[in-house]
């Protein structure tokens, strides 16, 4: 595993969320019933051709890996990041030489500035404590015109109702509506590419605008 970072040394880390996902790691894939066609359709809105470094933010056990292998250029690198080490352990079983695992926090991305072509946050954004810091980190990590996408297989209302019904560490974790997310991305100097928030799909993407 490359660049394994000791996340426990970060005092600001959201320990309860990390511990929650660590506990779910071994059985995570059993809980996923993904509609391949729908997910491929959403991911295909991004411009993979020519992208050399793609980041899977909050990769979990690597649910996205088969899709990214299919869509990305054969020589593209995939950086898969998660702060739950048990998720990374599971993801390692599904990784190949193109996939580099990073056990780290979204609030402190361990990559060089302007080094990533596409960042995908699949089913992770509601759990990110400080969304402004995360967006700033993503903006800095992206190269000029690099793309960022937040993707879910349900709408913000459906997901927020579900999280509100829970009585655990992720209870109340919220996904901003696409309209709110669009404003947040604009505030962080992303040019909006797509935004959609329907009962069964959520997709907000933006391109890094460069401030001169
Ligand atoms: C709902 S799971 C989604 C996992 C995967 N993307 C999928 O769709 O199967 C959210 C993931 O985000 C990770 N995560 C949440 N907050 C994070 C943070 N601040 N830094 C890194 N990973 C985080 C969790 O550990 C968990 O694996």
For ligand 1, the distance from its centroid to the CA atom of residue 82, given in whole angstroms, is 6
CA–CA gap between residue 167 and residue 2 (Å, rounded) = 35
- Cα gap 124→147, rounded to integer Å: 17
Residue of 10, 35, 58, 111 to mutate, ligand 1, most atoms within 8 A of C-beta: 58
Q: Which residues line ligand 1 (CB under 6 A)?
A: 14, 17-18, 21, 32, 58-60, 63, 82-84, 87, 105-107, 122-124, 127-128
Query: What CA–CA distance (Å, rounded) separates 27 from 22?
Result: 10
| CA-based nearest residue to 146, from 47, 20, 41 | 47
Rounded to the nearest angstrom, the distance between the alpha carbon of 124 and the centre of ligand 1 is: 5
152-188 burial, b at 16+ Cβ within 10 Å, e below that, comes to bbbbbebbbeebeeeeebeeebebbbbeebbebbeeb
Give pLDDT tens digits along the chain (212 positions).
Answer: 444 445 545 667 889 999 999 999 999 998 888 999 999 999 999 999 999 999 999 999 999 999 999 999 999 999 999 999 999 999 999 999 999 999 999 999 999 999 999 999 999 999 999 999 999 999 999 999 999 999 999 999 999 999 999 989 999 899 999 999 999 999 999 999 999 999 999 999 999 998 77
Q: Which fold has domain 7-26+48-208?
A: Rossmann fold (3.40.50)
Q: Which atom of ligand 1 is nearest to the CA of 29?
A: 9
CA of 211 to the centre of ligand 1 (A): 30
Domain residue limits, the chain: 7-26+48-208
Q: From ligand 1's centre to the CA of 52, what distance in Å?
A: 23
Distance (Å) from CA 59 to ligand 1 centroid: 6
pLDDT at 33: 86
- pTM here? 0.95
- Give the model's pLDDT for residue 210: 81
Mutate to test the pocket of ligand 1, among 3, 21, 55, 175 (most ligand atoms within 8 A of CB): 21
For residue 13, the model assigns a pLDDT of 82
CA distance 77 to 54: 6
Give the position of tokens 């505030």.
187
List residues bridging with 204 in a β-sheet.
150, 195
Testing ligand 1's pocket by substitution, the residue of 13, 15, 83, 132 carrying the most ligand atoms inside 8 A of its CB is 83
Question: What confidence score (pLDDT) does residue 151 get?
Answer: 98
């Amino acid at each position: 595993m490359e660049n394994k970072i000791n996340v426990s040394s970060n005092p600001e880390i959201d320990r309860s969320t990390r511990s929650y996902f660590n506990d779910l790691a071994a059985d995570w894939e059993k809980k996923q019933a993904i509609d391949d066609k729908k997910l491929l359709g959403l991911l295909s809105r991004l411009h993979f051709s020519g992208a050399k470094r793609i980041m899977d933010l909050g990769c979990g056990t690597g649910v996205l890996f088969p899709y990214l292998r299919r869509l990305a250029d054969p020589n593209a690198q995939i950086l898969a990041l998660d702060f739950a080490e048990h998720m990374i352990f599971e993801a390692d079983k599904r990784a190949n030489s193109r996939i580099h695992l990073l056990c780290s926090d979204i609030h402190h991305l361990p990559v060089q500035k302007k080094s990533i072509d596409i960042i995908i946050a699949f089913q992770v954004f509601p759990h990110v404590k400080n969304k402004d810091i995360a967006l700033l980190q993503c903006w800095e990590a992206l190269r000029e015109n690099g793309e960022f996408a937040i993707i879910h297989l349900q709408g913000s209302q459906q997901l927020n109702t579900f999280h509100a019904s829970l009585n655990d560490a992720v209870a109340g974790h919220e996904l901003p509506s696409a309209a709110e997310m669009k404003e947040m991305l604009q505030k962080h100097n992303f040019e909006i590419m797509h935004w959609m928030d329907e009962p069964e799909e959520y997709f907000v993407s933006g391109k890094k605008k460069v401030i001169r």
